[in-house]
Structure 1
């Protein structure tokens, strides 16, 4: 497997180097991005930095006026964060367990992903962290839930704790200040596993509904649409009745979700398709309309048709154009609303954890960013909060951002780093 990874890295590096000639000079960003024409790659660009982690004293780089510290370290591939009302911080530790490879490209991709710590044995648990003295570092660490199936999204509604496993949503009874939960949970909804495996969760503001992001199995329905049924969508679960339905579709891999408080609108970040170029199409941040269709796999950025896919003209005609482009292949995963005053110098807006690309000649993402909002919509260019996760030569990843959340003190940000095995805490510098 290591030989395959090294060979893939050598070939992928050569292909990526060749494809750097004529690559777009600017990212496709904002509400009206300049998206280059599609250039089908044939053999996709495969360029993944080797996971290294952080050495003692080496930290991510903060934006001016901010500082960062490790809230907790030595974790096992932390992916997602949920902060409970009592200030406890829950962290889902999980990792992709790939399906058996079906092609030489699958073998190459999986070997490369193992070197990047993106796939492998999954801890399959949720860890509870507690900072009892408020010094910004968790002193207590306990196993909150274990023996799960690639757990990811979490939500607490009243005295019920919901967990998004790759194969469905389970629920547990929760008592205030509990440091662990009994049993393996009751299954409420089943989802198809594999492919884009994460299952993010968010409760509606009134606690009556639960929303789950379920990504596609493949890049562009490569195995047809039947295996994709129920996927590439955001699901809605009615808590009272137990009824589940697709709320919005055509979202290739909708991961983080957040509520914009002024309008009460649900927003999500979506990872778009691969194989058409460095900036084509861009990943995006968008509001989510009930019953809305967002193009996948037939089209992107509204009605731009993907010529590789057998078409459905009626669906393309109703495809919604996303609100805000985030650049190509940034792997934007984490999302939370950050109110003005949380961090000095930052107003209202969305914070996004960008896990980082592999399908580009020049890598993108690998940072924590902020998108300012005004009157309920994005307003302005993205700003960096944390950078420095990638070496200058793009060969080494010290860390990769994933889930984000507002800290228990409401004056900090928490961010999961699944290569560094750290939860980072960002605050004002003074």
Structure 2
């Protein structure tokens, strides 16, 4: 072999050895095992990952770090990256803290601008890709987050809004851009909130069962791992609470869910699903955040156990009778991903293989040495059931030096099948459109 050719091969091999292992997974392969624990440099649209309980390391609290996002302005050449065939446009900006976003049956987008205490309505798309109108639907709210419409169907009569400490509803008719009456308080008291670094446990989401008979409100914990036996402030927290649509409390629907930030009803199975933030300070690769179906009366471990019968070392020997009852989530995500709103895709604009899958916003880690998250992921489903994998869908919100310019929070499917993503790093809303080009 000529020396020049041999030299070129050696150079190629050296370069290839430095590439992230995940890059080889972008063509229908899934990264598994220890390689599935990754950071933002390995997140690329189309890359699939699968973490299992067998992959979990032992707790290592000494690894715990405070590595919060170092926020910077979006660089001039920075833009969210989507899979081939998708286009990303900047739809709206100038919000104070855009969080959860939901699509009204008529196609309007209702957005919780939480720090502003407002819910806004975004309507239409101009030729430049921007929203035609942005209206304030309601103001004077207490950190609004969850938004939903009732009754189910094309012509709801109410807009429900989950404040931090209460649930209210406004009379609604199709096309309303502003509330036409004062809010009715449906649930006057929800458990009080603690704004935790990296936790966001003031958020409350609200969804209705497929038959419209049940109302589910998610309430995150007041702490990282406080034992509810000794801390009354955890009463009815780290739970999904069930009410009637008129606001009558029924029961704790499911418990041990540290922070179910985003709720969604699976359109295929009718089951409630949660996008969940797990606990911190057990190491870089513990405990995985997760996306899962929620079983009625189910127990998901917090704070005594995690991912099945793994005992939290900070609460040794507590509640051994619960160990065998811990439900293992359907999809284990990167630890400290900060998984927020989720939604199911039932539209037809995206390629056919997307139908029935879920999307979720990953706000990004703080309790991890190497950043992960700051993206939107796709969760593949088969007949309404998760495969255990997830796929990077919208990435690019972190500069190569680790500085962060964007943090996805909310995801909503438009009536035309495109996807809207809120970003409280740039305080804007992105629009993801499939063009096939």
> Is the pair's TM-score, using the shorter chain for normalization, greater than 0.5?
yes
The reply to whether residue 364 of structure 1 matches residue 363 of structure 2 is no
CA distance in 2, matches of 1:284, 1:219: 16
Partner of 1:13: none
How far does residue 61 in structure 1 lie from its aligned partner after superposition? 1.2
| Residues 142, 416 of structure 1: alpha-carbon distance in 2 compared, 3 angstrom cutoff | same
CA distance in 1, matches of 2:352, 2:173: 38
Stretch deviating more after TM superposition (338-347 or 85-94)? 338-347
Partner of 1:159: 157
How far does residue 421 in structure 1 lie from its aligned partner after superposition? 0.8
| Residues 55, 397 of structure 1: alpha-carbon distance in 2 compared, 3 angstrom cutoff | same
Partner of 2:61: 40
How far does residue 184 in structure 1 lie from its aligned partner after superposition? 4.4
| Residues 244, 189 of structure 1: alpha-carbon distance in 2 compared, 3 angstrom cutoff | farther
Deviations 1:265-312 (A, max 9, x none): 111111111011111111111110000111100000011000202511
CA distance in 1, matches of 2:220, 2:290: 14
Deviations 1:202-252 (A, max 9, x none): 122222222111000000016833110100001111125723421100000
The reply to whether residue 377 of structure 1 matches residue 382 of structure 2 is no
How far does residue 48 in structure 1 lie from its aligned partner after superposition? 1.3
CA distance in 2, matches of 1:345, 1:31: 27
Contact preservation (8 Å) 2:331, 2:388:
no
Q: From 100, 113, 116, give the equivalent of 1:93.
A: 113
CA distance in 1, matches of 2:378, 2:127: 25
The reply to whether residue 139 of structure 1 matches residue 148 of structure 2 is no
Contact preservation (8 Å) 2:331, 2:389:
no
Q: How does 1:71-110 map to 2 (within 5 A)?
A: 71-94=91-114
Q: How does 1:89-238 map to 2 (within 5 A)?
A: 89-94=109-114, 122-131=115-124, 136-157=129-150, 158-181=156-179, 182-195=181-194, 196-221=201-226, 224-238=230-244
The reply to whether residue 420 of structure 1 matches residue 426 of structure 2 is yes
Alignment TM-score, normalising by the size of structure 1? 0.83
Gaps of 5+ in 2: 1-33, 38-48, 151-155, 195-200
CA distance in 2, matches of 1:342, 1:35: 37
The reply to whether residue 70 of structure 1 matches residue 90 of structure 2 is yes
Q: From 307, 312, 331, give the equivalent of 2:313.
A: 307
What SS class does the counterpart of residue 177 from structure 1 fall into? coil
| Residues 136, 237 of structure 1: alpha-carbon distance in 2 compared, 3 angstrom cutoff | farther
CA distance in 1, matches of 2:409, 2:54: 24
Deviations 1:164-202 (A, max 9, x none): 111021112112211111324424242122221100111
Partner of 1:401: 408
Partner of 1:117: none
Alignment TM-score, normalising by the size of structure 2? 0.81
What SS class does the counterpart of residue 357 from structure 1 fall into? coil
What SS class does the counterpart of residue 322 from structure 2 fall into? helix
Deviations 1:70-123 (A, max 9, x none): 1211111100101111111111011xxxxxxxxxxxxxxxxxxxxxxxxxxx21
What SS class does the counterpart of residue 96 from structure 2 fall into? coil
| Residues 39, 66 of structure 1: alpha-carbon distance in 2 compared, 3 angstrom cutoff | same
Q: From 14, 26, 29, give the equivalent of 2:50.
A: 29
How far does residue 340 in structure 1 lie from its aligned partner after superposition? 6.6
How far does residue 353 in structure 1 lie from its aligned partner after superposition? 0.4
Between the two proteins, the alignment pairs up a number of residues equal to 377
The reply to whether residue 388 of structure 1 matches residue 396 of structure 2 is yes
Deviations 1:340-365 (A, max 9, x none): 74423642311010000000011111
| Residues 25, 126 of structure 1: alpha-carbon distance in 2 compared, 3 angstrom cutoff | same
* Greater radius of gyration (CA): 2
Contact preservation (8 Å) 1:171, 1:188:
no
CA distance in 1, matches of 2:247, 2:159: 17
Deviations 1:140-178 (A, max 9, x none): 111101001100000110311111111021112112211
How far does residue 385 in structure 1 lie from its aligned partner after superposition? 1.4
